[in-house]
Amino acid sequence: MSREVTLRRPDDWHLHLRDGAMLRAVLPESARHFARAIIMPNLVPPVVTGAQAAAYRDRIRAALPDGMDFAPLMTLYLTEDTDPEDVAAAQVSGLVHAVKLYPAGATTNSASGVTDFDRVRPVLEKMAEIGLPLCVHGEVTDPEVDIFDREAVFIDRVLDPIRRATPGLRVVMEHITTRQGADYVRSAEADLAATITTHHLIINRNHILVGGIRPHYYCLPVAKREEHRLALRAAATSGDRRFFLGTDSAPHVDAAKETGCGCAGCFTATNTLSLLAHVFEEEEALDRLERFTSLNGPAFYGLPANEDTITLRRGDDPVRFPAKIDSDDGPVTVFDPGFEVYWTAP
């Protein structure tokens, strides 16, 4: 059965583009479909100041192939030394659209993140005053807390206290992976939203561990039990304005994934839209796909939705996506959903 769905051109509200050879390899995969993306600042060294964000934006623009049209929306990496006035100036100039909070040690390149949340209070207060969103990697790093509980515990121990202490602070819970995350977002009428990745709508923790360990399904926050995947599907396909797409497409070369201590990250930029059409069709929610990919995100970030459109088509034969893309640093494996997909994006 052929079928098509036309959407305002999507945006990706959480994307890792890296730098150098990897940036050149992965940028076209996102720019082919997405008009804009919130660019994660966890480079080595991290993108901490407005000046560093401007330089990184220029490197992204320079890496964009001719004829492609893509706007990087920059973020700053919050440290305990971040200067509130630098943050404010970076927003006023239109450069920076969010500040990213990584609890120190929570994930890839998060060593410069926050340990003592009281020390970032002046920055958070400034952000509340100027309406600049805080994007949060919501996992505690306490070694006593089981990795599958780290998101739920973060909400109680860290996020809710921060939000109560900082009225007006606009927060995006990034890549939620639990029912508790979705419920917490729904409990707030304003100033709180969540991104959901493509892969967390598709895999649960069994996919990572049953029948052999699958390093390309390992990401952080790690996929949880099936009940949580279903809760994420319900949230993403509901049309609720508080949920929108952030792919968290996070490339690592195969050598860094297929090793004794592999890096976290799923690379989904290449096939994300086809996979989302598949998921939304399964949930009989294709009419709500545009809200998730193209409308809810810009509304939260105070930006207009894109004017141009993209048409996804369902054919009769399975689509063959590349298994890997090449970079000068080595191959990167494209996320394999483990089922046939019939949807193509141009």
d(CA 8, CA 104): 37
Check binding of 197 to ligand DOR (CB under 6 A).
no
- Report the alpha-carbon distance of residue 56 to residue 323 in Å, rounded: 29
Nearer to ligand DOR, 19 or 283 (CB): 19
CB of 319 to ligand DOR, least distance (A): 25
Q: Rounded to the nearest whole angstrom, what is the least distance from the CB of residue 113 to ligand DOR in the complex?
A: 11
CB 17 within 8 A of CB 39: yes
> What minimum distance in Å lies between the beta carbon of 66 and Zn ion?
28
Q: What is the dihedral of CA 267, 269, 271, 273, to 10 degrees?
A: 130
d(C-alpha 300, C-alpha 69), whole Å = 22
Decide whether 137 or 288 has the Cβ nearer to Zn ion. Answer: 137
Which of Zn ion, ligand DOR, none lies near 265, with the C-beta cut-off 5 to 8 A by kind? ligand DOR
Site for ligand DOR in 110-139 (CB under 6 A): 137
The footprint of Zn ion (CB under 5 A) covers: 248
Of 23 and 312, the one with the shorter C-beta distance to ligand DOR is: 23
- Catalytic choice (248, 317, 328, 329): 248
Instruction: In whole angstroms, give the CA distance from residue 241 to residue 216.
Output: 30
Nearer to ligand DOR, 264 or 341 (CB): 264
Bridge-based pairing state of the strands 330-333 and 324-327: antiparallel
Contacts of 337 (CB under 8 A, 6+ apart): 202, 271, 275, 278
Please say if 160 is a catalytic residue: no
Angle at the Cα of 144 from the Cα atoms of 143 and 148, rounded to 5 degrees: 85
Q: Which is nearer to ligand DOR, 89 or 264 (CB)?
A: 264
103 burial level (CB within 10 Å; 0-12, 13-18, 19+): buried
Q: Tell whether residue 296 is a contact of ligand DOR (CB under 6 A).
A: no
Least separation in angstroms between CB 335 and ligand DOR: 12
CB of 168 to ligand DOR, least distance (A): 26
Verify binding: residue 75, ligand DOR, rule CB under 6 A. no
Which lies closer to ligand DOR via its Cβ, residue 10 or residue 251? Answer: 251
Residue 194 interacting partner from ligand DOR, Zn ion, none (CB closer than 5 to 8 Å by kind): none
With CB under 6 A as the contact rule, the residue among 103, 265, 297, 337 that binds ligand DOR is 265
3-class DSSP state for residue 38?
strand
313: its two tokens:
């088509």
Which segments of 221-335 does DSSP mark as H helices, in order?
Answer: 226-237, 254-257, 272-282, 289-290, 296-301
Binding-site member from 30, 42, 177, 249 for ligand DOR (CB under 6 A): 42
Question: What's the half-sphere exposure (Cβ side, CA atoms, 13 Å) at 285?
Answer: 19
**Residue 291 lies near ligand DOR (rule: CB under 6 A):** no
212-231: contacts with ligand DOR (CB under 6 A): 219-220
Q: Any idea which residues carry the catalytic annotation?
A: 248
Residue numbers of the site for ligand DOR (CB under 6 A)?
Answer: 16, 42, 107-108, 137, 219-220, 250, 264-265
